[in-house]
Structure 1
């Protein structure tokens, strides 16, 4: 994994996976990840909102 490409650290110091990482992984883990390319757990309005 490469920092800045696959993940970054947020303000609280937690590791956050990027959309690129999730796509490389190839499937949804169903944990409502912030950058989920499959939009798991997001409501209809959030799914179609540009990020």
Structure 2
């Protein structure tokens, strides 16, 4: 079971279209890669290739 990580200041920002964009800070706190091709993925996952670098 995965833990719920509380969202704090600096964990995300709003895009021009109003979507939440999670930052590298949040991804590192979460502790794993979800393999969704996140914009700020610190784990090196590339959605186009489906591989981590």
- How many equivalent pairs are there? 42
Q: Provide Cα deviations, 1:11-39, integer angstroms capped at 9, x if missing partner.
A: 01000000000000000000000000012
Deviating beyond 6 angstroms after TM superposition, the runs of 4 or more aligned structure 1 residues are none
Structure 1 counterpart of 2:8: 2
1:5-44 paired onto structure 2 within 5 Å: 5-41=10-46
Gaps of 5+ in 2: 1-6, 49-53
Q: TM-score, normalised by structure 2?
A: 0.71
Structure richer in strand, relative to its length: 2
Structure richer in helix, relative to its length: 1
